[in-house]
Amino acid sequence: MNSVLAPSEVPLPPASGAWREGDPPGRRRWWERAESLRLEAGGELPGVRLAFETWGRPAPDRSNAVLVLHALTGDSHAAGETGPGHPTPGWWDGLIGAGRALDTDRWFVVAPNVLGGCQGSTGPSSRAPDGRPWGSRFPFLTQRDQVAAEAGLADALGIDHWALVVGGSMGGMRALEWAVSYPERTRTLLLLATTAAASAEQIAWATIQLHAVRGDPLWGGGDYHDAGPGLGPHAGLGLARRLAHVTYRSEPELAARFGRSPQDAEDPWRGGRYGVESYLDHQAAKLVRRFDAGSYVTLTEAMNSHDIGRGRGGTRTALSRVTARTLVAGVDSDRLYPLSQQAELAAGIPAADRLRVIGSPRGHDGFLTEVGQVGALVDELVG
């Protein structure tokens, strides 16, 4: 079951790849909510804390604030290099910075780590009030709960409205929730490769990933965070990542990059791997060292619950509440979040322009990799 672990000479990964107390803080800052957060599914979450990073300087009236929302395995480190506390470079580094689309000489950019995440925000790997990791006791969250926590962060930063809210995939779900829940606080909106509600097929792919994590013998019902190196549910999380990554890319891209070629000198007929197998193994091994399986489950379930029309009279009525000038874009090769879902958003949001299409061979991940095209959309909205 531990096929995702690195060769024997490389140290075993910790039980959880989460940021833990005592780790280098890096560029993170923290906001803590004094009162408990009431949850949509019932109950409440005490001791809510969000990690976040900022770039640029706020205007005196905070009118230049931009909210950047990450996808499933992202975090607050949207821009910047690797370093202590940040095992990976900024996931939208080409978009944020001086002279870039989100020009930090003009904009005050804020990127929180989502509630339920594992890079400094309250989640399954963080300590509950009793001092033990939340683990299996962590409650069910929805996108609305996560946005409610982010609204508290905005209040603490003195931001009464965002000049722009932008996100793709899971981040796009939260961006849409912002515009529906807080229309008066969302001036412009950029939705990328996302949907009004998780579809049956998206839930199906996600459910298989959840079974992979929970089926790992080291999952321990979600209580594994204080186990030793190599004793976390790495195999289950790695399998989930392999499956997810196939849905994030396109078949033509995989065919062009790998075809049926073996990995280096390995012979697939004699226990070796095809190149594409090695690629998926690499993606799995990277994730288990920087992410937490419990957060993967929590956030995947929150994505499955996403339905902008729930309790609001349906999708059309919910979308009619959006007052932000909006651009909706999808990726032409995306087989996980097809263009038909973005077309529904563009047609249903009153202030949305026509659907924009990002051309990319990279499938769903095109919203991350095609920085030039995304930057052009940002310029169109707030340039």
**Residue holding tokens 């062009």?**
256
- Write out the catalytic residue numbers: 169, 334, 364
For 298-329, give the DSSP string.
HHHHHHHH-BTTTTTTSHHHHHTT--SEEEEE
Q: Is 335 helix (H, G, I), strand (E, B) or coil?
A: coil
Q: Are 250 and 333 in contact (CB under 8 A)?
A: yes
Contact 59, 106 (CB under 8 A): no
DSSP code per residue over 101-121: SB-TTT-EEEEEPPTT-SSSS
H helix or E strand, kind and range, residue 52: strand 49-55
Indicate the DSSP class of residue 333.
Answer: T
Give strand ranges (E) for 136-254. 164-168, 188-192
The set of residues, in sequence order, having a beta carbon less than 8 Å from that of 232 and lying 6+ positions away, is 13, 14, 15, 16, 218, 224, 225, 288, 293
For residues 321 and 235, give the distance between their C-alpha atoms in angstroms, rounded to a whole number.
43
